Structure 1
Amino acid sequence: MLEAQGPLMEAGQTWASGELEDLALQKMKILVVDDEPTNLHLMYNLFGEQHEIYVCRTGEEAITFFVDKRPDFVLMDVVMPGIGGLEACRRIKQLPGGAEAGVIFITGLADVDHETQCWEAGAVDFVTKPINPITLRRRLDSHITLRVQADQLREFAWIDGLTGVKNRRYFDRWMSDHPLSEVGKVPASIIMLDVDHFKAFNDRYGHLAGDECLRRVAAAMKAQLRRPDDALCRYGGEEFACLLPGADVQTATSIAHRLIGSVRGLAIPHENTARGMVTASAGVASGSLSGPDAGGSIIERADKCLYDAKQRGRDCVASEHDLV
């Protein structure tokens, strides 16, 4: 899961036992893979009210299903016709999103060698047959709790402490991972933004006022992002970057105008500028991220456009296709 559910954990905060139980109640997508209808019905009845349950009868079906749906957890029988559970797990782990999926084996074999094979295939746990429903539920609840905690901590690590938007670490990770995904095969756009004359703002009003200015600017721009996968990142200092997967240059340019317009709309006084208020400039670049160094290329092009916007007098948008 790319986005955590629920509030982020603050630094130094711990979870009480009741909060841990609440984490285990998070709704998950669970794939049950078993060729025995009795086991499928048992696990559906056990988890169906709380989670989204999907069923497959073979390892082949499970692999195909995972590509389309990317479930959070897989409850997998080991011995099945065709591709067995161990091989199906190994193949799932190689798929996009597979490394994060929690595979729990349901197995009738309990010798040491078999246990070792389950771990080596990539399982996070295994439960022996005959299935004890309480044991299986407690095991799954524990892994859900760990999953949600990990997601929350990961999200926390990707947030800029000052502005509350994504940070440079998130930006770099996205640029690294996005070209490897299915979505990375389609064009994307990047907007590089800079708060105009921000050093002069700090010199005139002080750094505390500068911090508050950046917080307000970030909040205003973030509110303009209406597509669920778009992300605003603090790139460094007073510079921001907006990630727009699947957006063409026209869409990205329109969004860039909304972003700088929202900064202008704050009307934050800035007496050291001709306009008398805080403004921002933006550069837009679009293209595929799948080629060699394509990510670095699109960032460089967006930076050049941002420089062009500043040369034009700031408080404007420049794109590489001159659609402003």
Structure 2
Amino acid sequence: MTAQGKERPGEFELIARHFAPIAGSGALGLLDDAGLLRPARGYELVVTADALVAGGHFFPDDLPASIARKALAVNLSDLAAKGARPDGFVLSLALPRNWTEDWLQAFAAGLAAVAGEHHCPLIGGDTVSTSGPLTLSITAFGSVPAGRMVLRSGAKPGDLVLVSGTIGDGALGLKVHGSAAPAWVSRLGEPERAFLADRYLHPQPRLALADALQNHASAAMDVSDGLVGDLAKLLKASGAGAEIDLDAVPLSPAARAAIMADPALAELAWTGGDDYEILCAASEGEYPALAAAAQAAGIALTPIGRVTPEASVARYREQGRARSFAQGSFAHF
């Protein structure tokens, strides 16, 4: 019995009540041992997975709909960076002992909203109980024409380095949203605080760029652990280097206001992560078509530097001076 005296539903009733309504045809009614995907002829599957743990990837008291939205969105961001279109996802959910059905209903509603918006249905998963914190893992599946997945390893000397949207909002939003907000947060207006918190809580996967990346980018990945650190990963995979103009890195008005309140926040914006924007490389010849496609999709795409031949060497300049970073990105370990 729950603290309210109501008996909780069993696992199968729970699945039927909250998850079957958002499942796609490949879920087979969530009545079988596995789901089924049928990629179209000439297409390949792209697979990505992310695990999120309360207290590490989100605050335990975050709204359940926000937790669900973020969990699926970060996976869809990976698919977007590979030029893939979503086909479905599976969810593994480990619920703490004090879960309630109201919490689960709101969680499922948030999940359904993102799944419906991006045409990525639930096709299976597992639900268990845990004595530890709330933990969830999503594995998402997408498809691309055979041989067309956009890898990290394709950047070539002379390519332009580009990022979508704005950088730094997620990392700054984490500080705004946290319970112990730093002093600079009080110097922001309420619209700026709300914007930054929303960017942290509700990432926007750039799936509208998937086709353009597939057709015009030489390399791509999403910015999840920080622009500086993620660029290092792309360059290592490509065996290349880069020269980056930090003054060209696009910032939102809210991020600029935060940096004006505390100039040291610029480094957090460049290294902090949680942006879920697209970092990519494209040749001079392909750039105009890529930029036009991004503009048509309503997504800003900004050149911030150029790929160089020096393997894994990234040189950064700020206001004409060399800039280095002790730690380029968020790290789990």
The question of a shared fold, defined as TM-score above 0.5 by the shorter chain, is answered with: no
Q: Normalising by structure 1, what TM-score?
A: 0.26
Q: Normalising by structure 2, what TM-score?
A: 0.26
Larger radius of gyration: 1
| Larger proportion of strand | 2
| Larger proportion of helix | 1
